[in-house]
Structure 1
Amino acid sequence: MKKTMPVSLKNPSNLGAIRSDAQVIAEAISAIIELDTIIVDEFLIVIAGTGRFKERVGVKEEGGDLHAGYLYGRVITRGKAEIVEDARNDLRYDPSVAEGTATELAEICCPIIGHGKILGVIGLVAVTDDQRQYLLSRKRRFLEFVRRMAQLLAGSASETEALQNSTSVTSQLKTIIESIDNAILSVDKHGTILHCNQVGAELIQRTKRSIIGKNISKIWPGTPIPDVLKNGSGYHWHEESYQSANHSMTFMVTVNPVVSGSDVVGAVASFKDVADFRQKAYDMIAMAPRVGVDAIWGESLPIRKLRETILQVAQSNSNVLITGETGTGKGLVASAIHHSGPRLAGPFIPVNCGAIPDNLIESELFGYREGAFSGAKKGGKPGKFELAHNGTMFLDEIGDMPLRLQPKLLHILQTKLVERLGGIKSIPVNTRVLSCTNRNLERMILEKEFRSDLFFRLNVIPIHIPPLRVRSNDMLLLLDKFLEKFRLNEGKVINGVSEDVKELFISYSWPGNVRELENTVEYMASMASKDIITIDNVPARIRNQRQGKISPDMSLDALLQRYEKNLLREKLDEIGNIPGKIDKLADLLHVSRATLYRKLKNLGLK
């Protein structure tokens, strides 16, 4: 919080004389651009403000010292605008920074100049991370905006007739509203539309002339704006749908009241097309890094084929089911498919079906309407399928999807329509679905744990990822890659591993696959006291389970049984989880289906 001190306002400044107009302008600015606004006179007294700054009206900023070297004092004494990008860590921003009490994150501040005299400053302030990103991504545009607002305030302060007649101020404010890339409309205290910018008119699909002068309820039937005018309480990003004679509209809407003194004199609505809002939500959460097939390491034949398959299926819109043991990199493959195809610019939304509680997964996937259940967020919430519009939804661990929700998922896959929990409206979504599992879905179908129709809808293009044990040729390459990654992240010098460690890694079965290997490399590198990793740095569970060593007392039958078991396991892994895999393996090995089933059972292979 900025350093302030209370003062007397018996002798107001030029800006102080238009305090009411300044507050109206500040409220309008914040309603339009969704940033806090502060207006300070030449004595560093806060004249107007929004949000937390409204409570500071009448107090002095920066201890009242214009020459202390802080932001407002500098702008007033030098007459030049400034942009502070990291306020909380800038000791020249405000004395509260040194005290550790600053809550502002960024600010654009501009002098208010009238007839060659500095009258004060106006600032646009970001107090959240999202606001800071928004402010700095458009800092040049906002700097020009705040300069025009400073001119507006200077004109109000210097022209007596402007104090009596708001027409001049309103005209200039309208011009400024037109320069904003958000859709904006304003209404008076009766709900009559005073202004709608061109962006707003295009979203409403009407001309500005046919909008202005109409009551807002005629344009948006059932809008909550009359309630805002009545009680003075605005709202933030509600989803609202309206029907006109020839089209429907669905917007995300923020409405702020415009207050003069204690009276609500109007309201300003900022609105966006719901599809654009979904994209912005995706951009803000930034759920997954962009990775392509280059991130799938290996030179073995199965991995080369896997990369070729990814590049091929990436160009399709068909659903893909990715199978493989735990730790093989199913999520990496899904991300590579998305980021190698035409949906690259759209969102990639991963959802772990096994990590979300059963009672929450429906609302997470499909969203909910306001009032759908106790504790539902005001205004409702879009689900992951809506956020994935024009992109890709990745359903991780699809085998854990509750049976009761599988029909609803099937309906979305078939119709491309989502219906929110508690809602009655179907929302169209253009979403490609990738899913993965390490479970045997065919067995789950037989046991009535998974719907066969959903399986076939998901499994349009099956991709199986081979386990690490069947591509031992990639072992040393992966080992080097993970060592390099550790060196870059930790800065520790590790030049390699000893030969006995390499031999052990090649012979080990790696039940946790690539994930287990990466974690093992990180453990060894962290524990190594020298620049070469030795067998002593290998986790005990791996040292104690060396594979491939033939015991001297091992019988020929035992050796043959072990070889046969390893061969069958590798062949099953190579074929993957596809329909008729047992018949295919029987044909490959030239044995009957009954013989193969018997061998699999005797060897403990499922």
Structure 2
Amino acid sequence: MPKGVGGKTGYFKDKLYLILNSDTQYISELTFVLDNDILITTYPHWRNNMTYLMDIQADAQRVANAINAALGLEVTISDSDYNLVASSRGYFSSKGSVLNSSFKAELFRSQKPIIVENPGYHPYCADCSWAKKCPEKALILTPIIFRGQVIGDIGLTSFSEEQKNKILNYHNEYIEFLNQMGEFLTVKIAERAVHNELLIFSEKLVNAINFTEEGLIYTDSIGTITLCNTAAAQLFNMSSNEMRGLNVINVLPSLPLKKIESLDNETWESELIFTRQNRKYHLLVSARSIKVKQKVEALIISARDMQEVRQFVYRIGGTGKLYSFEDIIGNCQSMRAVKDLAKEIANSVSTVLLLGETGTGKELFARAIHCSSSRHNKPFIAINCGAIPDTLLESELFGYEDGTFTGGRHGGKPGKFEMANGGTIFLDEIGDLPLYLQVKLLRVIQEKEIERLGSSKTLPINVRIIAATHKNLEKMVRQGEFREDLYYRLNVIPIYIPPLRERADDIPLLIEHMIKKYSNLLSKNITGISDKAMKALMNYEWPGNIRELENCIEYAINIEKDTVINLSSLPSKLLQKTISTNCEKNDAKPFREKIDNVEKSEIITLLEKYKDMANVKEKVAQELGISRATLYRRLRKYNIVIK
């Protein structure tokens, strides 16, 4: 008996050391398996059994060579489809790649080793091409079991009497040794599986981080960039290969690394403004440290251009509906001329000044101009310069840095100009802008850059300015209330929007639109307006313009009980002004007579409305807000007979 055989695998291990001493890593792997009862039981389920051993064919061949050299016996390693994966040279030169499928079928069924003393004469050899002429003298087949299934086998075979005697005399030791070599192969299979899974995971990770639009940067513990996505490379005008290996401070010079590393389970976030390679950057940056046992091992940093952030917020949240010129109701000659001019200059970058009385729809025109311009998918930001106190207006327009104000927002706040960058800003009631802010606005228009309050850094902006006012700016300039240079900067393209009294032909169209709008909104079945009510609205001066008309129609629909708006449903203030106006227009008729005519007409209308009701007089009196006795007096006065 050879030395070491009594110690099971000791003898074979000694010889393996001698054979593989040139590859210390490989022999250490073999020794680790032989010294420890390792059985890998996990592997991706999508693999076919026959591919396991083929995946590690090179390793299988090395194992076959090592066993052959250690034991002096011929070796075969085959898969579950009876394909020869690896073999010793002696076996291949004697039998080529032919394997006995009958033996292997039995091996796969029983999952137990098989010992054959006389190959070629065994019953399983009857159908083999080597039957009764097989050069093999004896053989051992041991299954390779992985995840409870036989995925192949390792065979020891002999082609001489000496080899045959070794197999028969030491078959138990050989079987145990081959089982352990099979376990070694399953370790290699598992390693390959983990390697493949890591490759797949790595590919998924790379695709995932490249899919996001924000720049992602990963660093090691000292800030060296180890990975970045495509968005980050494009943001800094570099390739991914150029960024890898750089310290992150070379890319984000104002990043507070120490502060980020000091945070536990917190994300640091702030806006960073800096200049790199003659280019100004304004980024929203988030960063977080990855710690293992309180030691920083890596940093994850995301960066995004602030203009893109604002555009994203604008697309998702919006800043109010953007109207087109088709949404502006009006077909009179003056309105058609205004809309044609606004369409013509929509794509210009020049400043627009919208002039007109309160309530004429200046903001509607501003939104329509923006919507029809090349900036339509960029922000539209509106601010009313007269609605914000002077002390707050500057920070609203230009923003402020962190720490500028007590109680200010942490990290500072962008102003309306920053938010509108790339798009349009609408400065309503520009005539209410204080003189000291007029200077700053003039600089913004001329230099196309802003400074936040509390900061000395300038931010470039690309904004189309549309201003609006109901005031006479030329008069304000003469009186020293508005800067002349700013006026000329704003008044590049003046557009005058006519008041409603100058476009009376559009009133029916507006009323029709408003009736539909508020009938749906208030769930009322109002389909139109009576002739008398329409006449009253047409004769009214409308000092509040379209805004007042809309208020009037909403009021009427709220209180109207019929399917059309009647004269009695209009606001009393409007009726009084209408009567007064009509009296002034026609002095031939006494004032009292005009009032009597309106009153008589209204009583007749209501009597007709409630004629089918039993309590018609009571309903009419209630509608007019008078007592029944007063109603009887009015009926006698106007000679009205109830049928």
Range class of TM-score, shorter chain: 0.5 to 0.7
Deviation at 1:162, TM superposition (A): 7.5
Q: Match of 1:414, as an amino acid?
A: Q
Q: 1:430 to 1:222 in 2, by over 3 A?
A: closer
Deviation at 1:354, TM superposition (A): 1.3
Deviation at 1:549, TM superposition (A): 2.3
Gaps of 5+ in 2: 1-40, 42-146, 149-189, 592-643
Are 2:519 and 1:487 equivalent residues in the alignment? yes
Equivalent-residue separation in structure 2 for 1:197 and 1:168 (angstroms): 17
Are 2:238 and 1:212 equivalent residues in the alignment? no
TM-score, normalised by the number of residues in structure 1: 0.61
Are 2:490 and 1:473 equivalent residues in the alignment? no
Residue equivalent to 1:595: none
Residue equivalent to 1:390: 422
Q: 1:159 to 1:531 in 2, by over 3 A?
A: farther
Residue equivalent to 1:288: 320
Percent identity between matched residues is 37
Q: Match of 1:278, as an amino acid?
A: R
Residue equivalent to 1:328: 360
Equivalent-residue separation in structure 1 for 2:427 and 2:556 (angstroms): 33
Are 2:186 and 1:184 equivalent residues in the alignment? no
Equivalent-residue separation in structure 1 for 2:336 and 2:203 (angstroms): 66
Are 2:391 and 1:362 equivalent residues in the alignment? no
Q: 1:226 to 1:168 in 2, by over 3 A?
A: farther
**1:136-165 CA deviation, whole Å, 9 max, x = no partner?**
xxxxxxxxxxxxxxxxxxxxxx989989xx
Equivalent-residue separation in structure 2 for 1:268 and 1:283 (angstroms): 27
Q: 1:245 to 1:465 in 2, by over 3 A?
A: closer
Equivalent-residue separation in structure 2 for 1:168 and 1:401 (angstroms): 61
**1:164-211 CA deviation, whole Å, 9 max, x = no partner?**
xx9997787456434433311112332222211222122122232332
1:537 to 548, 569, 582: 569
Residue equivalent to 1:141: none
Residue equivalent to 1:566: none
Which of the pair has more CA radius of gyration?
A: 2
Q: Match of 2:583, as an amino acid?
A: I
Asked if 2 retains the 8 angstrom alpha-carbon contact of 1:174 and 1:195, the reply is no
Q: Match of 2:519, as an amino acid?
A: R
Residue equivalent to 1:409: 441
Asked if 1 retains the 8 angstrom alpha-carbon contact of 2:282 and 2:305, the reply is yes
Equivalent-residue separation in structure 2 for 1:199 and 1:387 (angstroms): 22
Q: Match of 2:245, as an amino acid?
A: G
Q: 1:181 to 1:416 in 2, by over 3 A?
A: closer
Equivalent-residue separation in structure 2 for 1:552 and 1:181 (angstroms): 67
Equivalent-residue separation in structure 1 for 2:504 and 2:525 (angstroms): 26
SS in 1 for 2:245: coil
Q: 1:247 to 1:443 in 2, by over 3 A?
A: closer
Deviation at 1:356, TM superposition (A): 1.8
Deviation at 1:316, TM superposition (A): 1.9
Deviation at 1:323, TM superposition (A): 1.2
Q: Which moved more, 1:418-427 or 1:519-528?
A: 418-427
Deviation at 1:245, TM superposition (A): 4.4
**1:38-70 CA deviation, whole Å, 9 max, x = no partner?**
xxxxxxxxxxxxxxxxxxxxxxxxxxxxxxxxx
Q: 1:264 to 1:170 in 2, by over 3 A?
A: farther
Residue equivalent to 1:513: 545
Report 1:205-354 matches (<5 A).
Answer: 205-232=237-264, 234-235=266-267, 237-245=269-277, 247-260=279-292, 262-354=294-386
Equivalent-residue separation in structure 1 for 2:386 and 2:208 (angstroms): 50
Q: 1:457 to 1:179 in 2, by over 3 A?
A: closer
**1:79-107 CA deviation, whole Å, 9 max, x = no partner?**
xxxxxxxxxxxxxxxxxxxxxxxxxxxxx
Equivalent-residue separation in structure 2 for 1:235 and 1:406 (angstroms): 40
Q: Match of 1:340, as an amino acid?
A: S
Q: 1:554 to 1:248 in 2, by over 3 A?
A: closer
Asked if 2 retains the 8 angstrom alpha-carbon contact of 1:229 and 1:266, the reply is no
Q: 1:225 to 1:543 in 2, by over 3 A?
A: same
Asked if 2 retains the 8 angstrom alpha-carbon contact of 1:328 and 1:514, the reply is yes
Residue equivalent to 2:461: 429
Q: Match of 1:350, as an amino acid?
A: A
SS in 2 for 1:386: helix
For this pair of structures, how many residues does the alignment match? 403
2:554 to 522, 535, 540: 522
Residue equivalent to 2:582: 549
TM-score, normalised by the number of residues in structure 2: 0.58
Q: 1:248 to 1:431 in 2, by over 3 A?
A: closer
Gaps of 5+ in 1: 1-13, 15-114, 117-157, 559-606
Deviation at 1:433, TM superposition (A): 0.8
Are 2:420 and 1:379 equivalent residues in the alignment? no
Deviation at 1:353, TM superposition (A): 0.8
Equivalent-residue separation in structure 2 for 1:168 and 1:337 (angstroms): 51
Asked if 2 retains the 8 angstrom alpha-carbon contact of 1:322 and 1:434, the reply is yes
Deviation at 1:553, TM superposition (A): 9.9
Q: Match of 2:382, as an amino acid?
A: P
Equivalent-residue separation in structure 2 for 1:269 and 1:465 (angstroms): 51
Deviation at 1:299, TM superposition (A): 1.9
Equivalent-residue separation in structure 2 for 1:295 and 1:172 (angstroms): 48
Residue equivalent to 1:203: 235
Deviation at 1:251, TM superposition (A): 2.0
Q: Match of 1:211, as an amino acid?
A: M
Q: 1:248 to 1:407 in 2, by over 3 A?
A: closer
Asked if 2 retains the 8 angstrom alpha-carbon contact of 1:419 and 1:427, the reply is yes
Deviation at 1:424, TM superposition (A): 1.7
Equivalent-residue separation in structure 2 for 1:549 and 1:460 (angstroms): 41
Q: 1:219 to 1:480 in 2, by over 3 A?
A: closer
SS in 2 for 1:258: strand
Q: Match of 2:443, as an amino acid?
A: H
SS in 1 for 2:456: coil
Deviation at 1:348, TM superposition (A): 1.3
Asked if 2 retains the 8 angstrom alpha-carbon contact of 1:232 and 1:264, the reply is no
Q: 1:262 to 1:160 in 2, by over 3 A?
A: farther
Residue equivalent to 2:186: none
Deviation at 1:539, TM superposition (A): 0.6
Deviation at 1:292, TM superposition (A): 1.3
1:399 to 431, 437, 457: 431
Q: Match of 2:288, as an amino acid?
A: N
Equivalent-residue separation in structure 2 for 1:505 and 1:433 (angstroms): 36
Q: 1:536 to 1:261 in 2, by over 3 A?
A: farther
Asked if 1 retains the 8 angstrom alpha-carbon contact of 2:522 and 2:558, the reply is no
